[in-house]
Structure 1
Amino acid sequence: MASFYRVFGLILIGLTVFFNVSGQDSVTTVAVTKKKWFETFTIRGYVQTRYNRLLETNPNLKCEQCDRSWGGNGGFFLRRVRVIIQGNISDRVSIYIQPDFASSAGGGLNYGQIRDAYFDLAFDEKKTWRIRVGQSKIPYGFEGMQSSSNRLPLDRSDGINSSFVNERDIGAFLYWAPAEKRELLSRLTEDGLKGSGDYGVAGFGVFNGQSANRPDQNRQVHVVGRFSWPTQLSNGQIIEAGIQAYTGKYTVADTTRGVKLINPEASYKDERVAASFTLYPQPFGIQAEYNVGTGPEYDPATNTIQQKKLQGGYFIANYMMKPGKMVLIPFARYHYYQGGKKFELDARSYQVNELELGAEWQINRNVELVAMYVFSNRRYEDAANPDNKQSGRLLRLQAQLNF
């Protein structure tokens, strides 16, 4: 009988161990079960509605690249209708797709068009090194990479933004950033400090060079490089300084009949270098950039598109206040540009001097209002309008919905 009890006891102990181990395994299995790739995806976006006619002194004053409802018969206007789909396909592969449903074409409004469509492949677990392939923003200029939903002025400055249409192109880009710098770059946007997003602290890439949603014209790629270093000082203030450059050949495709080109291929050297500096608003902030280079530009005296030097940049001062749960940021920006815009008719020649005084009012995380009074002096000339100098003032308004 004693032996029976010993055997029976051993059986009970064995069963107890078995069920305990089995239960632990099942719990562990639940804990480590990973989400399916489509369960990691998020959908977000924003809508910007504008009105530019208040206190307007010159309806002939326009900015084609800025806002097509500025001047002329412009009224209420959807500047951007963006929907962003992004997620992780695996631990090291992510995807990002952003269409815009406020594009204009042929005199019509609100057509859909791809802005971003790319994937990132990380080389290590912390994603210190990653390569981006597809249509995306070109790592050139702090303001160029900064999302329009974060930027204070309603449009990017002519000096920096004249480098690329919609700031994007199709290509491949290699980014590097230590984990602590990636965390800081992410925090600058999440905390509402008007960061530019995570494009690494160093970036290098090759791309078509004709800008987004346009086919290559000369079978020669552009090359771009950028280095930027954000730093948090001992007093908590965050600064970021950077330098960037690109080079390539650009083919002018939109010309008026009779305009002469410097060569039959209409191909021009397209090169720039820029310096950037940002003092993030805590509460006072500064943002400044300047670039110099060369590119195609229309010459009214000879009715030709020539290779010419260009230069321009901007300076922004702002101050962040937080009354209650809201955010109010008054700002002032001066920007200047002299040179051509290669992607406009006849590589249109520009000289811009503009001062903007405004404020962004964030009622909550979903609704933002911006009012901006503009003092503008613009010369923009092409073969169809070779003597065109416009100046004036206007109050520009924008309501933005974030979702």
Structure 2
Amino acid sequence: MKFRPGYRALAIAAFGLSAAFAATPAAADTAAEIRALKARLNKLEAEEAAAKRAAHAAAQQAHAVPAAHVVAAPEAPKHWYEKMSFRGYTQMRYNDTLNANQWNDVYSPHDRSVGPRRNFLLRRTRLIFSGDVSSHLYLYVQMDLASAPSGTFSNSATAATNPVFAFYNLPFVQIGTYGNAAGNFAQMRDAYADISIDEKKEFRFRVGQSKIPYGFENMQSSQNRLALDRADAINSCCKDERDLGVFFYYTPEHVRHLLRDLVKNNLKGTGDYGMFALGIYNGQGANRIELNNGVHIVSRFTYPYVFSNGQIVEASIQGYTGRYMPTTSAITPSLGMATGWAGYRPPGYPGAGAPFINAPGYGDVTRNLVLSQYPGAAWNYSCLNGCQGVKDDRVAITGVIYPQPFGLKAEWNWGRGPTLDPTQTYISSQRLNGGYVEATYKYDDTLYGLGTFFPFVKWQYYNGGWKVETNAPLARVHELDVGVEWQPLPEVELTAVYTKMNRTNTGAAPYRQFNADLLRMQLQWNY
């Protein structure tokens, strides 16, 4: 509406008239007319203000851009290094051997701090760099800053005369010597790329050094595992659980999300190592040089299933085949390996020397067998004809009930692998078997806010060669763990474990069986 000139004139006249009447005594009707004129003036001013606002709004609308046509400025694409994440965890342990035999045989291939006169240890200090470079390329690099070298303790035999051993004709007692080798150095654990061939990342190739898809506990991160060490029967397959190779993984999208959620929801899962896996790798173990022209082949199939009540179970089958090149060193051969009377030497038994390897490419095996029967004979265990290694085959089954709140996990494997012969004169492919059962209960304290508790019991058994140890000695393991993991905070975990040990000292000849009670505690912080 426009404010016409007539309204303005009327307003001026009204003010003038009111001023004239103000100079003379006003009659009653004159005062009423003045009030009426003022009211009309106020109305005219309000109409004029409303007209101005309407005109302004119309002008804005005429120049406005429809909302449907407004396009937001595109965000600048992120560089690949802006998509990376950096995380890690550290584990500090305290070990106390409560009792052991007089020969200081207490030894574990999993933890160099297990043994006499040992206390604190940084078991792991892991730094992990990972992320998606693109929709088809994922990078993962993990370093350990607490790797421990060999040589910090050597429980090698030293000369002694003790009538206790006269019955076994032993010229030595296993005492051990100490060294001063430095520890806690950096070593690569993982360095691989996941190359996806589809947008959903259901099909991918993992290239580089990574975990071998064999055994649930091997693939389960030490950051998530309850027991402080992996079971011998499964872990003896693979040095540091890793190797250099190429692995193909197939995981349907819904299974991939489930496998990852099992880790995120604190149910002690493994993460995504494929519903189906197939790979080839060197076979010598992580950070080891390949020593033959052959490769190992591994395959695994696993399937997690969710029941209507929310309970999740998983079943797996896996296996691998190849040839492994064991390492040897000089020992004084004896009988009784993996028993309490290990070290017995009958009259005329062969003298000191490194065991030869009974496998293709290692020279005249028949001649070596004959020479080994004579004291002081020179054994020929060198690689004469392009050593192929010792036959190394296994198959394993796995069953898991995830802790909601009760959990149960079991694995067992059978096969053949490099093993020192009972005569301790040669290494050949021999039968092995073993596994473990672990039960746990997940308790979340919501009443007092103390955090999450995982009490657990684990029993393990193994009878077979430890191929990654020098001379691949036979190991017999009967071991029981009783412990609890406490998570007062998501970033802090404290684990206490009592272990009843009955195992072979695979670290040094004569490879005696020992019994010991071990108390261990571990503090882990995640970052």
**TM-score, normalised relative to structure 2:** 0.71
Q: Does 1:285 align with 2:328?
A: no
Aligned to 2:374: none
Residue matched to 2:74: 29
Counterpart of 2:95 (choices 45, 49, 52) is 52
Letter in 2 for 1:262: N
Indicate yes or no: 2:288 matched with 1:181: no
Which of residues 213, 233, 244 is equivalent to 1:159? 233
String of CA shifts for 1:251-300, please: whole Å, max 9, x gaps: 11233343122141371001100000000000000000000010110124
Shift of 1:57: 4.1
The letter of the residue matching 1:281 is P
Q: Is the 8 A contact 1:337 1:350 kept in 2?
A: yes
Q: Which residue of 2 aligns with 1:260?
A: 356
Shift of 1:20: 8.0
Q: Is the 8 A contact 2:440 2:455 kept in 1?
A: yes
Write the deviation string for residues 353-401 of structure 1: whole angstroms up to 9, x where unpaired: 001100000011111000000011112458x512511001121110001
Structure 2 CA distance for partners of 1:322 and 1:56, relative to 1, 3 Å: farther
Partner of 1:78: 122
Structure 1 residue 210 displacement after superposition = 0.3
Structure 2 counterpart of 1:3? none
Task: Return closer, same or farther for 1:387/1:209 CA change in 2, 3 Å cut-off.
Answer: closer
> What pairs up with 1:89-128 in 2 under 5 angstroms?
89-105=133-149, 106-107=151-152, 108-128=182-202
Change (3 A) 1:387 1:63: closer
Task: State the match for 1:402 in structure 2.
Answer: 526
Q: Residue 371 of structure 1 aligns with which residue?
A: 496
* Partner SS state of residue 363, structure 1: strand
Q: Deviations over 1:156-206 (max 9, x none)?
A: 000000001110000000001111000100100000000011111110000
Counterpart residue number, 2:375:
none
Q: Contact conserved, 1:339 with 1:350, CA < 8 A, in 2? A: yes
CA distance in 2, matches of 1:198, 1:116: 15
Query: Residues 390 and 417 of structure 2 are in contact (CA less than 8 Å); yes or no, is this contact kept in structure 1?
Result: yes
Aligned residues of 1:85 and 1:96 also touching (Cα < 8 A):
yes
Q: 1:19 offset after TM fit, Å?
A: 10
1:222 matched to which residue of 2? 296
Match of 1:42 in 2: 85
Describe the superposition over 1:114-147 as per-residue Cα deviations: whole angstroms up to 9, x where unpaired. Answer: 0000000111111000110000000000000000
Contact 1:121–1:131 (8 Å) recurs in 2: yes
Residues in 1 aligned to 2:245 and 2:510: alpha-carbon distance in whole angstroms = 35
Pair 51,321 (structure 1): closer, same or farther in 2 beyond 3 Å: same
Aligned to 2:513: 389
CA distance in 2, matches of 1:399, 1:170: 31
Summarize the Cα distance change of 1:358–1:61 in structure 2 as closer, same or farther, 3 Å threshold: farther
Q: Distance in 2 between matches of 1:283 and 1:354?
A: 25
Q: Aligned pair in 2 of structure 1 residues 172, 387: CA closer, same or farther (>3 Å)?
A: closer
Deviations 1:303-342 (A, max 9, x none): 2112100111000000000113410010000000011111
Tell me which amino acid in the other structure corresponds to 1:390: F
Once the two structures are superposed, the pairs formed by residues 186-335 of structure 1 within 5 Å of their partners are 186-256=260-330, 257-263=353-359, 264=362, 265=387, 267-324=389-446, 325=449, 326-335=451-460
CA deviation after TM superposition for structure 1 residue 28, in Å: 4.8
CA distance in 2, matches of 1:321, 1:308: 43
Distance (whole Å) between structure 1 residues aligned to residue 329 and residue 322 of structure 2: 20
Q: Which runs of 5+ in 1 are unaligned?
A: 1-11
**Alignment-derived partner of residue 338 in structure 1:** 463
Name the structure with the higher strand share. 1
The code of the aligned residue for 2:185 comes to: Y
Q: Secondary structure at the match of 1:347?
A: coil
Q: Between Structure 1 and Structure 2, whose CA radius of gyration is higher? A: 2
For 1:357-368, what aligned pairs fall within 5 Å after superposition?
357-368=482-493
Residue of structure 2 equivalent to 1:5: none
Unaligned runs of 5+ in 2: 1-59, 153-181, 331-352, 363-386
1:156 partner letter? R
Secondary structure in 2 matching 1:393:
strand
* Number of equivalent positions: 387
- Give the TM-score normalised by the residue count of structure 1: 0.92
Give the secondary-structure state (helix, strand or coil) at the position aligned to 1:109: coil
The CA deviation string for residues 52-104 of structure 1, in whole angstroms up to 9 with x for no partner, is 11634458343442110001332200100000000111111010000001111
Counterpart AA for 2:357: L
Over aligned residue pairs, what C-alpha RMSD do you find? 2.0
Residue 348 of structure 1: CA displacement? Answer: 1.6
> Structure 1 residue 301: deviation in Å?
2.0
The partner residue of 2:218 within 140, 144, 158 is: 144
Specify the SS of the correspondent of 2:200. Answer: coil
User: In terms of mean alpha carbon deviation, does 286-295 or 251-260 score higher?
Assistant: 251-260
- Contact between 2:100 and 2:106, CA under 8 Å: does it hold in 1? no
